Homo-oligomer: A and B are copies of this chain.
Amino acid sequence: MAPRTPDRPTRRGRPGYDRREILDVAVDAFNEHGYDATSVGLLAERLGLSKSALYHHFTAKEQILELAVGEALDALEAVLDDPAAAQGAAADQLEHVLSGAVHVLVEKLPYVTLLLRVRGNTEVERAALARRRAFDNRVQRIVAAAIEDGSLRSDVDPHVVERLLFGMINSIVEWYRPDRSQSAHDLAHDVLAVALEGLRA
């Protein structure tokens, strides 16, 4: 038996890879080449596995996509489901959601990147888009509630504001580099400075 080390979990399934590692490699390949252009053969090649060994872990390429975008969506929805997202003035709830979304984006950067590129070509992709829309609708309701309870200014359109805020947050995947960019904490600070408090001194 191979020795265990504390920072390396026991591997399951076929020797060499567990599902988590395969998922990480597959998500990188999807982001690099595009999901449609990434064949199971290419994934197997990247992993140094045979296609049949890969099919031991996953029934189809689409199952990998489903798990990957599901992981990003689960994390984003957990931010909204957190009790802090339902406490206090609605503007404070919005602050919690924006900050939490930035943290999810940084912690699961390749997974969120993949999610944001989904265009609805398959059933799995359409289901992911539906969950994204439901997320956006929940945030829009918080923005509308914050305008209603007077904690956000009332001269803006809540739908437009939600799109602008998440347009800003989602654009982070285009340039954020974990090894060179600021921490999630500092990034969330700057997002909130722009979005809620305003940049003007």
Contact = CB atoms under 8 A, between A and B. Distances in A.
Contacts of A161: 190, 193-194, 199
Interface string A116-131: 0000000000000000
Given A151-B200, A156-B190, A175 B195 contact: no
A155 B194 contact: no
A190 B160 contact: yes
A175 to B, nearest CB: 6
Contacts of A191: 164
A178 to B, nearest CB: 15
B152 A201 contact: yes
A31 interface: no
Given A152-B199, A194-B165, A199-B91, A157 B182 contact: yes
Interface in A148-201: 150-157, 160-161, 163-168, 170-172, 174-175, 182, 186-187, 189-191, 193-201
Q: Which of A165, A191, A201 has the most CB of B within 10 A?
A: A201
Nearest to A155: B193
Task: Give the interface size class of chain A.
Answer: 35 or more
Interface in A87-130: 91, 94
Nearest to A193: B156
A69 B195 CA distance: 30
A196 B195 CA distance: 8
A193 B153 contact: yes
Contacts of A182: 157, 160
A157 B182 CA distance: 9
A198 B160 CA distance: 15
17 contacts: A91-B201, A94-B199, A153-B193, A153-B200, A155-B189, A155-B193, A156-B194, A161-B190, A164-B171, A164-B172, A164-B190, A167-B170, A168-B168, A168-B171, A168-B194, A194-B194, A195-B198
The 9 A-B pairs of least Cβ separation, nearest first, read A198-B198, A167-B171, A168-B168, A197-B198, A156-B190, A152-B199, A160-B190, A153-B201, A167-B168
